[in-house]
Structure 1
Amino acid sequence: MAKMTMIEAIRDAHDVAMAEDERVIVYGEDVGFFGGVFRVTAGLQEKYGQSRCFDAPINESGIVGTAIGMAAYGLKPVIEIQFADYVYPAFDQIVSEAARLRHRSNGDFTCPLVIRMPTGGGIFGGQTHSQSPEAIFTHVSGLKVLIPSNPADAKGLFLSAVADPDPVIFLEPKRLYNGPFDGHHDKPLQSWKKHELGEVPDGNNAIEIGKANITREGNDVTVLAYGTMVYVAEAAAEETGVDAEVIDLRSLLPLDLDTIKASVQKTGRCVIVHEATRTSGFGAELMSLVQETCFYHLEAPMIRVTGWDTPYPHAQEWEYFPGPARVGEALKKVMED
């Protein structure tokens, strides 16, 4: 195993996929010569040539549209949307074409397409570089939606996404790009403190899509989280002393409902944490599923801890994020009920 940041792990996953299958091509804005705004694809053009890793015009609809055509004709495009906030001009292509191609063609065509997007806040990017749109894509039948929380999962899930015959939305939390996130702190300088880098297996360590990971075992309350919020949830459990079981969902669509059910039925309580806005966020779907499948096991009302229902507040970014203090309050409250 090698120790890597998430950026390095995703780059390594690109390298593995491109070496194993010449149909894998990589492109997007500044992805080729420059290596991407976050340098995820650095060095791939030099290694594999301009026909397999190249730059695209600033046209998200065009990037996704051409990728759908390539996928339908047998290639495996991996495209980067420079920030998740930029994906909306391509939304119709994703929803009306990529997600439906298998079904509308009665299986004659598939769309093996990976759409990578840096997501979430933490870089002081303001309203147009910090959004968390995962819930929008989980509403679309025909898509898969993944969001890793650590380098090993990022590599493994990416490789499974490339191998998948259908379109995959691959969301990469920017706060986790350069090293493990210190969830004990709410402030930006402290939260970027470098810890030991994640160990990443060599070669193809594909991780099955649709399987959650229990990162902290506990008996008192189940905490459902993904991406950066996994570390915040773990920190809140440590600081409060609540014996919380933290589940890193990893795959939002398909969702590992079996792992969620088993945990909630054991603990009898559930707290849900995500960075996106509260109303119609993915936490609402999680609450509905837990209520439908675990109602008679619940000993207290479920609680969501989320971002605010406002346009992204650039000047109050670190108050907007759920931090260990807010999550800790939820843990204590659900234990009191």
Structure 2
Amino acid sequence: MFKVHAKPLKTIKGLDLSSLAKQTPGFAGADIANVCNEAALIAARSNAKQIDKQDFMDAIDRIIGGLEKRNKIISPIEKSTIAHHEAGHASVSWLLEHANPLVKVTIIPRGKALGAAWYLPEERQITTFEQMFDEMTSAMGGRAAEQLIFGKVSTGALNDLEKVTKQAMAMVAYYGLSEKIGNVSYYDSTGQSEYSFQKPYSDKTAELIDNEVHQLAERAYKRALDILSDNTDKLKQLAAKLLTDEVIFTDDVEAIFGPRKFKSNEAHEDSRVISKDFKDGFADSEARKKKHLEESKRKHEESLKKAEEEEEQQKKDKEANTVKK
């Protein structure tokens, strides 16, 4: 897909398109086209003659997370809450066997989000209860970290709770992964259920489904809380580094928590390589932004100076004309 959309672009020689493909799991053709167009715009803004890998990586960041908003005003306590929230996700996912592997975490506001984490989902054809429950636990890591460190939770976990609730509902009502509901599925593959006025199960079963969904979500939250309680010092270290650097990568997490205790699969190995690419390119990207900002500032100052000189010259010409008269 990248080969098709990158073909008309002037890219550097030897650009590894396969690594870009690994960074965009689930992207449709239109999404890939947007990444390529955005990369071209980023390269043009820096007056580059060719589009390099970092331009594509910055474009992927922008497509996934939205535009950076470094000038967004965030209070110190809010920033600390966001840092601990994101560190909670990263910590729990690192300590669980089946959670999606981490690529990077940032507390630089992007789009509507005040913080974000990039993970590389493992390509699966089928999923087990253990895999889904690890993902739910990881999603609860942010809220659990807030409760553990600050003794209260915020509204920042809205997307996490939505994800966990939908996951739990699917496990209970669709996939037959609840012992109390049993080996039944209320999934409607015809898509006609939304037009039906009657549910395919009784009120008693509906109540049982609600209870099972609630219990699954609470179990995931308690599990995340227990994991972080056993690793509070490391959680604080990771949050502190995030507050200082604003962006952390896989090797930063490993430096604090140590190597993962589980056998790495292909997704984890890929995430490590991709995370290193992002980290190596991050400094280059920041340097480019700084250079672009300095260049814009210089041009603005030159423009102001020129305007002042023209205004001064106009005054002198006016005075000279007055003297002649």
TM-score > 0.5, shorter chain as reference: no
TM normalised by structure 2 equals: 0.22
**Bigger fraction of residues in helix:** 2
The answer to which structure has the higher strand fraction is 1
Pair member with larger Rg: 2
